[in-house]
Structure formats: structure tokens, C-alpha cells
Chains A and B, each alone.
Chain A
Amino acid sequence: MLQLTTFFTQNGIPEETLIWIFMLPIAMTLVVIGRQIVGIKGFSISAPILIGFAFAAIGLQSGVIAFVTVLGVGFIIKSALRNMRLLYLPKMALILLITAVAVSALTPFLPYKDDIQFSHAAFAFIILILSTEQFGSLLIERGPRKTLGVALETLVMSTAIFFLITSVWLQNIVVTYPLIVLLTAILTNLFLGKWTGLRISEYIRFKDVIFK
């Protein structure tokens, strides 16, 4: 099994990149389980994964602070622009732009840890800032209360993914048996694709009908 990993590393791909790539199927499966079995909505499939990786790059504490800031600023800007009668895309670009400025102003004050590779940090911030788009469109279509719920669920999901991909134990497994990990992920998703049971959230939603 190690052969695959050594093949990649010999061809100049850093081990850390490998870990992240091999972690992707696991993170995806976790998101699918969260959606199909638990019933956590989240912005989309990609958003919690991207944000989870962003957290891994700049540390959970800084990540969460940046995430909350991004959403908070995004919401304020959106409300401020509401009366301006702008078309959707330019309005969204304005929201992203101002959010980016706000986050860059925040960066010097974030509690980074020393062991974090700062090279990823730039990408982490870009990911967090861009997540404002999905947040903003949800805000426009569904209103603030629903959006706050989904944002919280995304935060929970992203944090779970953060813990998953930063687990040293799992990282070792992924590097040692990449094919087995991939196969397990494929099988799990095939199973989930045929899963027609109630989600945990639906047991709560329909409790009156189920337990009447």
C-alpha cells in the first residue's frame, strides 16, 4: 500500500499535500453522513469541507473567529446595500469586497499557533471570504433566521471536519493505506445512496406523527 504514497512523494509531491488529498474522500463522506443520516444542512457539500480545511490551515480558534467575522460583516453590508437597488451579481461582489477588507484588517489580531504553516493561510482566508457568497444568497432567498441556522450547522460540520483531518492517527492510516480508505469511502457512499431511512433531524421534526 505504501507504494502509492512513495510513488507520489518521489515525484515531488509533499506528504502534507498528499494527506490533504487523501483526506478529501473521508471529509466528503462525513458531510454526506451529516446530511443523509443526521440531517445537518450546511451551505453545500463543498462549503463545510473547504471551511474545515481553512480551519486546519490557520487553527480552529482563528478560523472560527474569522468565519464569524466574515458572516457578520457580510450580513451588515447586505443590509446596508438593501435600499440601493443593485443587481444581484454586482451587489454580491460588493459584499465580498468589503468583507475581504474587514478580514484583512482583522488578521494581525488573530491567535495563530506557531506550529501552523502560514503558507496555507492566504488560501484559508480566501475560502472563508468566498463563503460569504453562499451565505449572502441564502440570506436573500431565505431570510436571516433560516440563514443563521444553516450557518451554525455549517460551523458544526466544518469543525467536525477540522478534527477529522487534523487527527494524527487518521493521517497515518491515510498515508499507509490510501486505497483501502478510498474503497471504504466509495462503499459507504454507495450504501448511503440507497439509504431511505428517516434522518435523525426528521425523527425530531415528525415526532408527533411517529410517536403519537
Chain B
Amino acid sequence: MPGVLGINARNLLYIKPSLTKRVARILDNKILTKKILSAKGIPTPKTFSSVSSLRELTEFDWNELPSSFALKPNRGFGGEGILVVFARKKERTQHFANVGILDPASWRIMRIFGKRTLEPAWIKADGTAIELPDIKNHILNVIDGTFSLGNLPDVAFFEERIKILKLFKEYSFRGIPDIRIIVYNSIPIMAELRIPTKESDGKANLHLGAIGVGIDMESGITTHAIHNDRAISYVPGSRLVLRGIKIPGWKEILELAIRAQKSVGCELLGADISIDRDRGPIILELNARPGLSIQIANMAPLRERFERVRGLQVETVKKGVKIAQDLFGGGLEEELEEISGKKIVGAREEITIHGTGKERHITFAKIDTGAYRTSIAKSLADKLQLTHILKYKKVRGALGKEERPIIDLVFELDGEKVHTEAFIASREEMKHDVIIGRRDLKKFLVDPTKNLILHK
């Protein structure tokens, strides 16, 4: 059985047991969800005001709204029915009325035919204007239940727009990128950065045309990117590389996702988290029916990951983060090696030194980018009979000037055979018999954090 999660299995095996009546009541109601999260001290976007009836709409004070907001259906799903505006268009009404170009009757006639009128207006994601009557009409459709689950009557609410992080600004078209984290059994399972495009109208929903970028669970660094379920390397229409973006505050984001899941008590959840320039990570929305494209963006199967953590006891939020990072992280290194064609080594690596004959000696070497040449301890060189001195060279060290012999040295580092000339030095006082210098590290990248846990 393949480890990839399909819609059938998602609905029957994971959503159905997780989506109890209580959970559905919370998650299918965005305002209620936000209330519950806030009560637990979890940051969510501010709700400015809501409209639930025609009466409330006619009495609504439009001047109270800030110039930028998101208008959402309370029971909407899949990003539908969401209207995002970025700025208020300058008032033209007064000006035209004063000049007296048009009388009110003509305005009304023009409006019936959808012509540009002189109503207050806001600017949408694609740069076009949306006028007050359009927004009112949209709210009426929301109240009628056009966008709600089961087309039930609904409430429209105005929400604060997150202030975009500088890091994301160049990648995103108008909207705010968010991070979708799938949490199951209090453990983050898979994550994806979702970047709005012009096509998606400033929304971060993949099926509307947003970009999805997989994220390494351990480091919070992006890996593969997809657009409309197809692999891409750059933001469409640009040369911006999508892999290798490091999400700031990754651990904090994972913790937030787990805390959100615990507060609503839902076993499976898609948490949408955005990073506000001032407030930091914020829960935008919680989704009981997360989409499956995230598997393509991560090139990893969800079902297999679910099964690995099913039934695990996770006592604390921190533990959940750790399990996620250990189980589902990593793998990024191999990929980096693939791209750069260079191997990644840590600060301390096992090497195999070739003796004069068939002799092989295995030892740990210190990787030292501060040194130019590789050095080997005299005791070890003697033992391996590497005594044929090629030449002497003067070195300036911390201990003053010194003349050191140079020998031929062949060693293997991470499977790579390196043929070099190395110093012989007295290293009796040192922990490592060998240090490897820059000259022999051209085929490698050094990651000082690698192997750390291994040798503690």
C-alpha cells in the first residue's frame, strides 16, 4: 500500500475520527475559533467588525474601517468568498459633486450598467478598484450563504491584514504568504510555505493558483516548490529561487501549531500560520480538511508519516516539536550536496589515511578552515612510515616562526579520496592527530553543527 495519502483515505481514516461534532462546530466557525484561540493566549488576527443581517449592513459605518482589511465569510472554506483590499482609493465623490458634472440620477443609471461611478472605493490585489456597492453586494452574497459550507446563512466579518515580513515581500504578489502545518496527534507532520500569486488573487490557497513550497521540518528551510501541482524552481515570471528560504522562528511556529491543535482538541488539523512584522507568528486559520498537494511540495507521503506517529504519547508541546524535527526533518543535506556537487562535512570527521603500503589508518580529523595546509601529527606519520620528506616550509603560527617538513599524504574523507601535501607537526598536546586545511576542502562544504549530537 502506497504511503501517499489520497482523498478517500484522508476522509475515512483521518478526518472522520478527528472531526467530532464539537470540533466541527468550532472549526467551521472562524470567529468562534479565533475566540477560543485567544482565550488560550494564542495570537490571531484582530476582527474589526461583523455583519450578519441586511439591517446591520445598512447601518454599517464604513468610515470606521481601516484602509486595508480582509473580508471573510465566517463559515467559508477553501479561501472562497474572501475579499482582500490593500488601500482606500482617494475620495472623488466630493470633487465631482462640487464641479457638478453629474447629477445623482445619472449616477444611478450608470451604476445599473456597472460603469465607473463615484462611490468610495478600495484597491484589490490585482490593482483594480472595488467600490462600496460591490462590497455591499459581496456581503449580501456572504450572508445568503453563497460561500458557506452547505450554503447556510452566514456572517461576514472584517479582519486585520497581517503586515508582511520583509523576507517574504519580493516573493509574494500582494497577499501575505502563510505557512500551512499539518498537525496530527500533537505532532507537526508536514509543512508548506504558501505564496500568493496574481493568479490566486492575493490568496494563499493552492487550488486557487498560489505557490506551495515544501519545508524541511528540522531546519525550517524550503525545499521543493509547486504551482498548480507542477514542480517549479522560481517564482513564475521572475528569477527568484524558491528553495533555500529560511523561515524565521521555526521552532516557535511549530509550537504554535501544536498549541492551536490542543486548544480545539482536533486530532488532525491544518494550521495556517503567518508571520506579522510586529507581532511574530500568528494563527490565521485552522482547517479541518487540509489539502493534499502539500505532499508534492515536500516530495513526501503523508499517510506513511501519520502511521509513524499514530498512538504516540506526546506529553508536552516541546516534545511534539522534537519528535517532528527528528522524525521528519533532515534529508535536506543530501539534497544540498546534490545541488552543489559538494559534500557536507562537520567540524570533526572520520578519515582514512593511506599508509605507504596497503596499510589503512582510521582516525578523527579536525576540519579547520583557518589553516591552509593539512597537518598530521609526527607520531602518527612515523607509525605509518610516512617519512619521505618532500621539502620544508616556513610557517608563522601563534607560537612564532617555525620550519615544518612537508610529506605526500593520501586520505579519504566522506568517501572522497584526497591526494595532497601535508605538514608534519608535533601534535602530542592536541585532541586530533590530523587537521584538514582549506587546500583540501575544495570539494566540501563545512557545516559546524553537523555531527554535534553524535559525539556529545
User: A89, A137, A198, A208: which contacts B6 (Cβ < 8 A)?
Assistant: A198
Known: A83-B114, A141-B80, A194-B12. A210 touches B4 (CB 8 A): yes
Cα–Cα, bound, A189→B1 (Å): 22
Known: A87-B144, A88-B141. A199 touches B7 (CB 8 A): yes
Question: Taking the complex as formed, is B296 at the interface, i.e. its CB lies under 8 A from any CB of chain A?
Answer: yes
How many cross-chain pairs have Cβ atoms below 8 Å apart between A and B?
69
State how many angstroms separate the Cβ of B311 from the closest Cβ of chain A.
18
Cα–Cα, bound, A210→B301 (Å): 8
Cα–Cα, bound, A140→B146 (Å): 10
State how many angstroms separate the Cβ of A82 from the closest Cβ of chain B.
8
Most chain B Cβ neighbours within 10 Å, of A89, A198, A209: A209
Known: A197-B6, A199-B6, A208-B231. A87 touches B296 (CB 8 A): no
Question: Taking the complex as formed, is A195 at the interface, i.e. its CB lies under 8 A from any CB of chain B?
Answer: yes
CB interface residues, B 294-324, toward A, < 8 Å: 295-296, 299-301
Chain A at the B interface: mostly helix, strand, loop or mixed? helix
User: A88, A205, A210: which contacts B2 (Cβ < 8 A)?
Assistant: A210
User: B1, B8, B114, B141: which contacts A36 (Cβ < 8 A)?
Assistant: B8
Cα–Cα, bound, A194→B295 (Å): 23
Known: A209-B299, A212-B299. A85 touches B114 (CB 8 A): yes
Question: Taking the complex as formed, is B112 at the interface, i.e. its CB lies under 8 A from any CB of chain A?
Answer: yes
CB interface residues, A 71-93, toward B, < 8 Å: 82-85, 87-89
State how many angstroms separate the Cβ of B362 from the closest Cβ of chain A.
34
**Chain A residue at minimal CB-CB distance from B147:** A141
Cα–Cα, bound, A141→B13 (Å): 29
Q: Please determine whether A83 and B296 come into contact, CB atoms closer than 8 angstroms.
A: no
State how many angstroms separate the Cβ of B227 from the closest Cβ of chain A.
13
| Segment at the A interface, from B132-140, B335-343, B443-451 | B132-140
Most chain B Cβ neighbours within 10 Å, of A85, A141, A195: A85
CB interface residues, B 259-303, toward A, < 8 Å: 292, 295-296, 299-301
User: A82, A197, A205: which contacts B9 (Cβ < 8 A)?
Assistant: A197
Cα–Cα, bound, A195→B10 (Å): 11
Question: Taking the complex as formed, is B388 at the interface, i.e. its CB lies under 8 A from any CB of chain A?
Answer: no
Interface size classification for chain B = 20 to 34
Known: A209-B296, A210-B4. A87 touches B140 (CB 8 A): yes
Q: Please determine whether A84 and B296 come into contact, CB atoms closer than 8 angstroms.
A: no
State how many angstroms separate the Cβ of B131 from the closest Cβ of chain A.
9
State how many angstroms separate the Cβ of A152 from the closest Cβ of chain B.
17
Q: Please determine whether B9 and A196 come into contact, CB atoms closer than 8 angstroms.
A: yes
State how many angstroms separate the Cβ of A164 from the closest Cβ of chain B.
23
Question: Taking the complex as formed, is A206 at the interface, i.e. its CB lies under 8 A from any CB of chain B?
Answer: yes
Interface size classification for chain A = 20 to 34
Residues of B within 8 A of A140 (CB): 146
Q: Please determine whether B231 and A202 come into contact, CB atoms closer than 8 angstroms.
A: no
User: B6, B134, B137, B292: which contacts A87 (Cβ < 8 A)?
Assistant: B137
Known: A84-B114, A88-B141, A141-B147. A195 touches B8 (CB 8 A): yes
User: B1, B229, B301: which contacts A205 (Cβ < 8 A)?
Assistant: B229
Question: Taking the complex as formed, is B439 at the interface, i.e. its CB lies under 8 A from any CB of chain A?
Answer: no
User: B12, B111, B296: which contacts A196 (Cβ < 8 A)?
Assistant: B12
Q: Please determine whether A85 and B111 come into contact, CB atoms closer than 8 angstroms.
A: yes
Residues of A within 8 A of B1 (CB): 197
CB interface residues, B 193-219, toward A, < 8 Å: none
**Chain B residue at minimal CB-CB distance from A195:** B8
Q: Please determine whether B137 and A208 come into contact, CB atoms closer than 8 angstroms.
A: no
Residues of A within 8 A of B301 (CB): 209-210
**Chain A residue at minimal CB-CB distance from B136:** A85
Q: Please determine whether B13 and A196 come into contact, CB atoms closer than 8 angstroms.
A: yes
User: A141, A194, A205, A209: which contacts B300 (Cβ < 8 A)?
Assistant: A209
Question: Taking the complex as formed, is B62 at the interface, i.e. its CB lies under 8 A from any CB of chain A?
Answer: no
State how many angstroms separate the Cβ of B335 from the closest Cβ of chain A.
12
Residues of B within 8 A of A199 (CB): 6-8
Cα–Cα, bound, A73→B190 (Å): 44
Residues of B within 8 A of A196 (CB): 6, 8-9, 12-13
CB interface residues, A 140-189, toward B, < 8 Å: 140-141
Cα–Cα, bound, A210→B112 (Å): 53
Q: Please determine whether B134 and A198 come into contact, CB atoms closer than 8 angstroms.
A: no
Q: Please determine whether B4 and A87 come into contact, CB atoms closer than 8 angstroms.
A: no
**Chain B residue at minimal CB-CB distance from A91:** B141
Residues of B within 8 A of A82 (CB): 114
CB interface residues, B 83-134, toward A, < 8 Å: 111-114, 133-134
Cα–Cα, bound, A164→B12 (Å): 29
State how many angstroms separate the Cβ of B266 from the closest Cβ of chain A.
20
User: A87, A88, A197: which contacts B8 (Cβ < 8 A)?
Assistant: A197
Cα–Cα, bound, A84→B134 (Å): 10
**Chain A residue at minimal CB-CB distance from B115:** A83
Q: Please determine whether A206 and B147 come into contact, CB atoms closer than 8 angstroms.
A: no
State how many angstroms separate the Cβ of A79 from the closest Cβ of chain B.
12
With contacts A202-B7, A209-B295 known, what are 17 further pairs, Cβ within 8 A? A84-B114, A85-B112, A85-B114, A85-B134, A87-B137, A87-B141, A89-B144, A137-B146, A197-B6, A198-B2, A198-B6, A198-B9, A208-B231, A208-B296, A209-B4, A209-B301, A210-B301
Nearest 4 A/B pairs, CB to CB: A83-B114, A196-B9, A198-B6, A202-B6
Q: Could you give 14 example pairs across A and B, Cβ below 8 Å?
A: A83-B113, A83-B114, A84-B114, A85-B112, A87-B140, A140-B146, A196-B12, A197-B1, A198-B2, A199-B7, A205-B296, A206-B295, A208-B231, A210-B2
